[in-house]
Amino acid sequence: MLIVAVAVLGAGAWLAWPRLFGSPNEQAKYQLATVQRGDIEDVVTATGTLQPRNYVDVGAQVSGQLKRIHVEVGSEVADGELLAEIDHTVYLARVDASRAQLRNLRAQLKDREAQVVLAGIQFRRQTALMAEDATTRETLQTAEAALKSAQAQLEALRAQIDQIESTLRADEANLQYARILSPMTGTVVSITARQGQTLNTNQQAPVILRVADLNTMTVQTQVSEADVSRLKLGMDAYFTTLGGQGQRWYGKLEKIEPTPTVTNNVVLYNALFDVPNPDGRLMTQMTAQVFFVVAQAKDALLLPMAALGQGARAQRVQAGSAARPATGAASASRPAEDAGRAAAGTKPGTAAVAQRPRQGSVRVARDDGTLEERTVELGVSNRVQAQVLSGLAEGERVVAGLSAPAGNSGTPRMPPRL
């Protein structure tokens, strides 16, 4: 009986020890996050497509049947290389006719020049005879008129020759246009016409193919009107592609087009930047997930944004928001990100300004199991993390949320062994 009584007393003492002599552990009911070092970026995200920076749609300048295409999609071409040929039979015939007509007019020119020389001799002879009163004035006037007429016919013939030469140059140009040459060095990225197709340039210049320089690609992104004000020309940007295994391509923002595109009442602005493509891995019309870097920090102290919503100041903001009457969908609770922004001194529901330091409130876990309210200075932040400029040290733990229902008061200290 004595042994049983001692056992009962021992069990009762073991159960009563935490309530009588143990101190509660404040940290047990919270999730704790450790302040660590790392890199952080505040970015504006957008979706874009890739296009060659330099490209030319090669079309036909003359009508006719597309006799032959000398290249395929993917062919590397040089400036001036033959791409395609149009049937040139009609244009060659026009050139031959113009050349024959030009030869005929040049032969007539020689005859006219001889007539001018003869008329000049006759005029000079009549002038000499008139000086000796050996001819009539009427004969002299006739000789003078014949000379002027011959000279006028000579000028008219020369003008006609100039006109035919101009026509010949046009015919020769059209004959050359039947041979379609590459206007630049690059890659054939598309062919829209087919061999044997009849091309008609009278209504619209037909496009045969596109030649592009794939060594430099342009990323064209569409940024929402809520984020476009955060973009600055010259800011760093990078993107990833589907199937790119997370590889990043880097560039700098070069242009923000002022005229937006409106799709389903959504206003989007085009933002463009170039990126080198020496290995040709980037292709036309690829989809890009683009990140414009508003601010960044390397090897910085980081804490989760959820921790900024656990300080007393943030909790007072949350309590005040909960005390106000809610109507409709607006009564839904804000996410921890908004509470963190409120504690950091920014307006909930808006993007944090990462360029200037600001203060926030966190709860730090002490070694004795208690919590300490502490004010920290913050730098760059995004939706997940914030940079700590001062107020915390690497390895310290901060409250990031509740880990158990409110009814659990924590784990008591273990009593000493009996």
pLDDT in tens, 176-217: 999 999 999 999 999 999 998 888 888 777 899 999 999 999
H helices of 208-356, where? 312-323, 336-343
18-27, 98-107, 368-377: lowest mean pLDDT where? Answer: 18-27
Closest to 135 measured CA to CA, from 116, 122, 147: 122
CA distance 316 to 320: 6
Residue 147: what residue type? L
The continuous run of DSSP H or E covering 37 comes out as strand 36-59
Please, what sign has the CA dihedral across residues 193, 197, 200, 201?
A: positive
**Beta-carbon neighbour count of residue 100 at 10 Å?**
11
Tens of pLDDT, residues 130-188: 888 888 889 989 999 999 999 999 999 999 999 999 999 999 999 999 999 999 999 99
**Beta-carbon neighbour count of residue 388 at 10 Å?**
24
The dihedrals phi and psi of 137, each to the nearest 5 degrees, come to -65, -30
Tens of pLDDT, residues 51-97: 999 999 999 999 999 999 999 998 999 999 999 999 999 999 999 99
Is the model's pLDDT at 414 over the cut of 50? Answer: no
H helices of 234-372, where? 312-323, 336-343
Closest to 45 measured CA to CA, from 294, 403, 297: 294
In three-state secondary structure terms, 330 is helix
- Are 267 and 224 within 8 A, CB to CB? yes
Closest to 253 measured CA to CA, from 219, 287, 298: 219
CA distance 187 to 214: 7
Is the model's pLDDT at 323 over the cut of 80? Answer: no
Tens of pLDDT, residues 336-376: 444 444 333 333 333 334 456 788 888 888 888 888 888 89
In three-state secondary structure terms, 30 is strand
In three-state secondary structure terms, 155 is helix
CA distance 247 to 250: 10
Residue 287 CA, distance from chain mean position: 11
DSSP state of 411: P
Task: Note the pLDDT of residue 135.
Answer: 85
Paired tokens of 257: 């087009």
Q: What is the mean pLDDT of residues 394-407?
A: 76
CA distance 47 to 240: 10
Q: Nearest-5° angle of CA 323, CA 326, CA 331?
A: 105
Q: What is the mean pLDDT of residues 16-36?
A: 67
CA distance 30 to 309: 13
Residue 149: what residue type? S
